Structure formats: structure tokens, C-alpha cells
Amino acid sequence: MELNGKTILITGGSAGIGLEAAKQFIEQGAKVIITGRDQVKLALAKKKYPSLITINSDASSQEAALSLYNQISELGGIDILYNNAGIMNGQDNLGLSSSKHFEKASMEINTNYLGVILLNDLFMDMLKSRKEAAIINTSSILSYTPSNLVPTYSASKAAVRFYTEALRDHLQIIGSRLKVFELLPPLVKTNLSENMEGKSITPDVLIDALIKAIKNDTYTIRVGDTKAIYWLNRFLPKAAYKLLNHKGVVAKLRS
């Protein structure tokens, strides 16, 4: 798939993986629109990359999603929708040490999973009408085996993975040209994962892999340790689970 000349919308694009993606897509000759909930971060991103179009929007809100769609339509539409926005709550999400377990779990599911479906549904006809278009959904290494520190986050990413595979097959069955990519990051050095233990990669390494995969029409993009966990989980699922829930994780749960 060609990126030069494409218009790309990145949700959660004001920092971390999303901002790195914006940078590299601009370098590929794309027009990039980013969204985020923090206006200060959006302004800083715009200052760093002046060609960016920034829109304040909440990926989990139906009202905000519809407003975003209308704004994008007025701008001429998009060719690629990159569902990158995500939130992760800590170990109190287990419901053992917090009275807000349901509230936090709902936030994660609404943003990480239902928000993806919400935007895909809104932009589907627009994307299907383009000569060459794509959806990029971000799942996770934790979609294969969960981390006990972030159970609902893990579940939300597993949901994204199954949904993405089904969406891709459905579009192929109806003969649509719309491409569906799934990015499965390992642990990435961002604010989202600052309290997670383990070997991590930097956002630029992740997005390098994403861009190469898009250009080669590689629809399932397992990066770094995700490749190892994928294969290990297929043949030795208990070993994969223990690898992601090692003694350091257990110690955090007990603290």
C-alpha cells in the first residue's frame, strides 16, 4: 500500500506511539490528522510538527466521535483510520484493592475496544469508497496471553484482535478493497507502560515495523517479543502465561 499522498487519522496521536506514527507518516508524504483529549499535548504536537491537523476528541464518546466524523468530512475525508487511542489501569483493576474496579474496567473497554468499533462504523463507507484505503487497529502482545497486572486491558486487546480478524474476513467476502491491518506491539517505552516490568522497545522501532508492513500489505504485524509469545502460546500456553506473569508481577500483586 502506498502512503505518499494519503490522508491519515490517528486517534490518541498527541504523544507516545501515536505521535511517533504521525512523525513517520508525515515523512512518508502523508497528510496527518491526530486526535487526543489533552489540548496542551495537542498544541505541543502541532508546534513540533506544524503540518499536523489536531482535533480535540475522546475516542470513547459517541457524541465526540460523530463530531469528529463531521469535521473530517469537511476536511475532505481520510484514506487511513489508525485506531491507536488506548488507556491502561493498574493492578487495582483486579477489584481486590479498589471500589472503582467496574468504573475503571468500563473505561478501558469503552476506549480500547468499543471506541474502535464506533469509529470504524462511522468511517466505513468513506473508507470503502476510496480507491486504496485501510484501517489499522492496535491490539497487543497481551491479546495472546494476559498480564495479571492489567486484566481488563488484556481482555480489551484480545477483543480487538478477534474483531479485527473477523472484520478483515468480512470485507474480503463482500469484495471490498478496504485493507485491515492489526498492529501487535510488545512492551513499548511510553507513559502508558512506565510501571510495567520487562524488555521494551521504543516507539520509533514499532512504527518502523508498521510502515514496512503497510507497504508490503502484511496485515498482521507482530513486533519484537510479540512474535515469540505468539508461537510459545500456540504450543506451550502455560509457559507463555508464566513468562508474562513472572515473580516480579507476583510481587507487585502482593504489595
Q: What is the number of alpha carbons within 13 Å of residue 61 lying toward its C-beta?
A: 12
Count helices and strands (H / E) in the chain. 10, 7
Asked if residues 202 and 188 have their Cβ atoms less than 8 Å apart, the reply is yes
| Gap between the Cα atoms of 6 and 128, Å rounded | 14
pTM as predicted: 0.93
Spot the catalytic one: 144, 153, 219, 241: 153
Q: What is the pLDDT of residues 120-175, one digit of tens each?
A: 999 999 999 999 999 999 999 999 999 988 899 999 999 999 999 999 999 999 99
Half-sphere exposure of 18 (CA within 13 A, CB side): 30
User: Could you tell me the domains of the chain?
Assistant: 7-254 (3.40.50.720)
Do the Cβ atoms of 45 and 22 come closer than 8 Å? yes
Residue 200 confidence (pLDDT) above 90: no
In the prediction, which pLDDT does 253 show?
41
How far, in Å, CA of 155 to CA of 213, rounded?
25
pLDDT for residue 89 = 82
pLDDT surpasses 60 at 53: yes
pLDDT higher than threshold 50 for residue 11: yes
- β-pairing, 31-36 vs 179-184, is unpaired
The pLDDT-based confidence of 212 (bands split at 50, 70, 90) is: very high
d(CA 180, CA 168): 6
pLDDT at residue 41 greater than cutoff 90: yes
Whether 230 is catalytic is: no
Q: For the chain, what is the mean pLDDT?
A: 92
The C-alpha atoms of residue 9 and residue 2 are separated, in whole angstroms, by 16
Cell numbers placing 232: 510459545
Task: List the grid coordinates of 196.
Answer: 510495567
pLDDT of residue 104: 87
pLDDT confidence tier of residue 94, bands split at 50, 70 and 90: low
Dihedral angle, C-alpha 231, 234, 235, 238, nearest 10 °: 100
Percent of the chain with pLDDT over 70: 89
